[in-house]
Structure 1
């Protein structure tokens, strides 16, 4: 079993990671600024379903899947960056529409989050290298990795929902004549997420 010290250190590391903005957070914040809390939380849900799938692959020890992502690292992240830029263009063109802007369906918001989660291959490679560092019993690693994956997923979901809520509060504060500013900030955040994907390296 994992020692209490290792688990506590892992929780601290997970909280720090959840508080660090990346492409997933950029999508969640950008969506919440444009469309509100519900759309942001649905997007966060999609992101975290993708995250759970990645963690499950790592916990199951499917090294060949990780290797496939590694071989196609650049292709996947370029596609993800292009997708974020496309979403940014849509939001920039709709700047100022405010609360009359068409709300994405639940399926669309969820799908965006899921797509961007899988468009960042570095997260899968990171999990494959990160989780095993906290294992204390090398003789029986699978249950420990599964536990660590579950803890990571829970903290990530809470963190992403908090990002959505905070962004929605900012949207409310910028309502009215500042709506266009909020929409363009939202588009800028999405472009920033694309830049983070493009800047991502294998190390």
Structure 2
């Protein structure tokens, strides 16, 4: 059983991380601004499935998978950054065209989120180092790490849903003649997410 004080501290840390924009948030917000709530939520679902897979690897203590990600760290993140820039260019070029003309399918929106979640290998390395810091039962840590992973996933999902909903409200406020501005802001956010990926070192 994790002491309540440690669990509360962990939840606060998770909330702080969920409120910090990164590549995943950039994709969710950019998609919601361009295509609306449904596409944003589907993208958030894809992001969080990827996150849960990474948390499962970290919680299971699969060091060889973490090591494999580490060896290909730069290749994976460069690919993810290039993908985000490609999405940004598409959104910039179609700015003001209206969501119905180019909105991604449910599978495509989900797939985007999943792809970008896996395109940021630093999250897996972070989870592998972050979760054990809150473990109090060092003799049998797996159960506590599993609980922490579930809590982290729940907070991350709630945070991503809130980001998607907020972006959708901003999109509604910028409808009509401001739609093109919203689309270009969306493209800029995606480029920002790519920049964060490129800036992510092995620190």
TM-score, normalised relative to structure 1 = 0.99
**Aligned position for 1:154:** 154
Q: How far does residue 202 in structure 1 lie from its aligned partner after superposition? A: 1.0
Alpha-carbon distance in 2 for matches of 1:152, 1:100: 35
Distance 1:59 1:127 in 2: 8
Q: Which residue of 2 aligns with 1:170?
A: 170
Q: Deviations over 1:57-99 (max 9, x none)?
A: 0111100000000011000000000000000011001001124
Give runs of aligned pairs for residues 27-106 of structure 1, distance below 5 A. 27-106=27-106
Structure 2 residue matching 1:140: 3-state secondary structure: coil
Unaligned runs of 5+ in 1: none
| Alignment correspondent of 1:188 | 188
Aligned residues: 203
Cα offset, 1:103, TM superposition: 1.7
Is 1:124 equivalent to 2:124 in the alignment? yes
Secondary structure at the counterpart of residue 182 of structure 2: helix
Aligned-pair CA distance for 1:132:
0.2
Gaps (5+ residues) in structure 2?
none
Moved over 4 A (4+): none
The answer on whether the counterparts of 1:35 and 1:101 sit within 8 Å (CA) in structure 2 is: no
Task: Note the aligned Cα RMSD (angstroms).
Answer: 0.6
Deviations 1:98-130 (A, max 9, x none): 243322111000000000000000000000000
Q: Which residue of structure 2 lines up, in the alignment, with residue 15 of structure 1?
A: 15
Query: Are the equivalent residues in 2 in contact too, given 1:40–1:164 (CA < 8 A)?
Result: yes
Q: C-alpha separation between the residues in 1 aligned to 2:107 and 2:100?
A: 20
